[in-house]
Structure 1
């Protein structure tokens, strides 16, 4: 199937992009999966996107993005990358169905259109991104716990201990809540935690900003450092706006999956983006180029507020990290669980326990061994997310619709491919 060529007539080619071909969605076929397919509402998925992209990662973005770029280039890059990412995800959502087949995994779609080699390139790119992202979230949770302990002790434990606690907590959650769809009941509390810590954080940061009359917005370092740091900042902006797993998220949506996915994306790139871009800009406004790489560490107090913010960040990250790890769990569950029985049979529970334990043990060990890897996660993540987000959707468009699309559309997508490859 991976090397099979697709054939579409003009009507189908047009309808694929617009998401209006009812026949494709009414008589769908998709490869087997151990996880739930076609069940969730767009509101549930949209809320999951908003909360997951507003996880504690955003607390480092003022330092990572605006300090190297400054106000002018920082705002320009935030807007351009945000718009470009929203468009690329909107486009990719249209290709969830082709000729009656529903592609519940990105790698399956790339393999179907371009062959086995692209299947594995996509698979490796996605899973490296997700594994590194999970390590970054484990590091984030550990840092939040250490900040809490620092408020009560003059000699807190080393960060590695909190990383282990965070990894164990994530493991328990992923075992008890095995799929994206199963997150449904947890999205309400996650939303409350998200907006609680963001609102409290913004109030304290604005207060600090008003008291800080000597803010320095200059970009420091020699030319080589500035160029390297600017590239790292753009990489972080890409990471904060996209995940590289749109089709896996879309697979959970009920019909019509294309329009429902786009509604969820509208929610992410409106409500969600306003909050995490707001934290980025307000943090930089308040503290300037000296803003900490972990924003709560910059707050003037009171201590109870710092504890509350860090506790909310940690608890929220337990839920939000699951969206990024779920495609890895799905691949392992589909491969090793007995699909003919339920997920919660004794044998499948045992296998799921071992697989989740192995994943989080390895990730926690690597994170504890390299607790300084936060910047590397953003930098390397951008290398894998650029093709997944910007190049592959244009390749898919040309493959599926190139013969029927207008010349200017084809030129635009060829420009995307060539420009991003450079």
Structure 2
């Protein structure tokens, strides 16, 4: 039975690879025809977003800074603590490689028979039919909404931590006030930067914030790790808790590596969209993964099984470092949140499948 499952997986991978390769060939042929005819060769669905405008470098940086948010960089508690060193590192590497390969194949399905699929639901509907179109629409929308709720909570928590450093009151303001302030800032940013392509002027600032956050965080993690002489790397809990914790860790690693928005992100790329998307993915799964994997491993090394679900809240050090880390976490969350929320407008930019 195991051999049959392996054989089926290999067959599916080969079919997907052949479809991706044929899609890439079709795209190259279409691009050649476009050069000769001087007009577009793809059939593309109507959308309010900008199509064919961004370079692969811009999209690659967008993927790197979009995934390197404070939530993902605090996943030591979710990814490493439930698995321990051995299984944790193995799952990080295996799931990361599998996610890259899956997205590499999916990027090749962006153009099929001259039709360009700029939405995940359109591709699923084309391949599996109308029912899967609606299922994909529902699941993707719910996932994005829940993810953005998490970003708002992250921003509110960072603002509250900053306020606590400057407040002398024993009863600091409630978290709800900071959540409301975060929501207002997110709304204002989304209003003035309506599309993902319009973020090109903000990527350099976002990258600088990411570097500042990562450097400050890793310096304090190394300091705390050296001073912490009683680290516990054991996986605690009952057998059932360990099993559920392991599944949760695998899910968290998947969240770190893929967004479920690849066709939407790929739609902004200039032609050739397949090869350009694969270049951007390579940047994400090398430079990007090295950062958020490195921070997660460092956090687990520093605190062991006692690592917090929000690393900035566990760090020692001066007040200015706490303020700096939480401020960069909040500002970077604006960009990361916008990367995900901007694509929800794809759900209303065209009518549903008839």
TM-score above 0.5: yes
**Structure 2: runs of 5+ lacking an equivalent:** 1-17, 35-40
**Structure 1 residues 14, 143: closer, same or farther in 2, change over 3 A?**
closer
Structure 2 residue aligned with 1:66: 80
**Structure 1 residues 112, 298: closer, same or farther in 2, change over 3 A?**
same
Q: Give 1:22's match in structure 2, choosing from 28, 31, 38.
A: 28
| 1:180-236 alpha-carbon deviations (Å, 9 max, x no partner) | 101110111000001110111000110110111111111111111111111111111
Per-residue deviation, 1:101: 0.8
Structure 1 window deviating more from structure 2 (240-249 vs 24-33): it is 24-33
Aligned length: 324
- Asked if 1:75 corresponds to 2:89, the answer is yes
Per-residue deviation, 1:14: 7.0
Q: How does 1:179-190 map to 2 (within 5 A)?
A: 179-190=195-206
Q: How does 1:299-318 map to 2 (within 5 A)?
A: 299-318=315-334
Distance between the aligned counterparts of 2:319 and 2:73, measured in 1?
18
Per-residue deviation, 1:20: 6.2
| 1:141-194 alpha-carbon deviations (Å, 9 max, x no partner) | 111111111112243211111111111111111111111101110111000001
Distance between the aligned counterparts of 2:204 and 2:23, measured in 1?
33
Q: Give 2:225's match in structure 1, choosing from 195, 202, 209.
A: 209
Q: How does 1:263-412 map to 2 (within 5 A)?
A: 263-334=279-350
Aligned-partner SS, 2:348 = helix
Per-residue deviation, 1:125: 1.5
**Structure 1 residues 168, 302: closer, same or farther in 2, change over 3 A?**
same
Distance between the aligned counterparts of 2:262 and 2:25, measured in 1?
15
Per-residue deviation, 1:21: 3.7
Distance between the aligned counterparts of 1:43 and 1:174, measured in 2?
22
Aligned-partner SS, 2:71 = helix
Root mean square deviation of aligned Cα: 1.5
Distance between the aligned counterparts of 1:312 and 1:16, measured in 2?
44
Structure 2 residue aligned with 1:121: 135
Whether contact under 8 Å (2:20, 2:107) holds in the other structure is no
- Asked if 1:159 corresponds to 2:175, the answer is yes
Whether contact under 8 Å (2:23, 2:112) holds in the other structure is no
Structure 2 residue aligned with 1:48: 62
**Structure 1 residues 59, 271: closer, same or farther in 2, change over 3 A?**
closer
Moved over 6 A (4+): none
| 1:307-328 alpha-carbon deviations (Å, 9 max, x no partner) | 0010001011111111111121
- Asked if 1:87 corresponds to 2:101, the answer is yes
Whether contact under 8 Å (1:77, 1:234) holds in the other structure is yes
Distance between the aligned counterparts of 2:161 and 2:282, measured in 1?
34
Per-residue deviation, 1:329: 2.0
Distance between the aligned counterparts of 1:19 and 1:74, measured in 2?
39
| 1:223-272 alpha-carbon deviations (Å, 9 max, x no partner) | 11111111111111111110001000000000000000000000000000
Distance between the aligned counterparts of 1:279 and 1:102, measured in 2?
37
| 1:51-89 alpha-carbon deviations (Å, 9 max, x no partner) | 010011124301111111110010011111100000000
Aligned-partner SS, 1:68 = coil
Distance between the aligned counterparts of 2:341 and 2:30, measured in 1?
29
**Structure 1: runs of 5+ lacking an equivalent:** 1-11, 336-422
If asked which structure has higher relative contact order (CA below 8 Å, sep 6+), I would say: 2
Distance between the aligned counterparts of 1:47 and 1:115, measured in 2?
34
Whether contact under 8 Å (1:24, 1:101) holds in the other structure is no
- Asked if 1:134 corresponds to 2:173, the answer is no
Distance between the aligned counterparts of 1:13 and 1:305, measured in 2?
50
Structure 1 residue aligned with 2:209: 193
Whether contact under 8 Å (1:46, 1:264) holds in the other structure is yes
Distance between the aligned counterparts of 1:239 and 1:14, measured in 2?
24
Structure 2 residue aligned with 1:219: 235
Whether contact under 8 Å (1:17, 1:94) holds in the other structure is yes
Whether contact under 8 Å (2:107, 2:274) holds in the other structure is yes
TM-score normalised by length of structure 1: 0.75
Structure 1 residue aligned with 2:273: 257
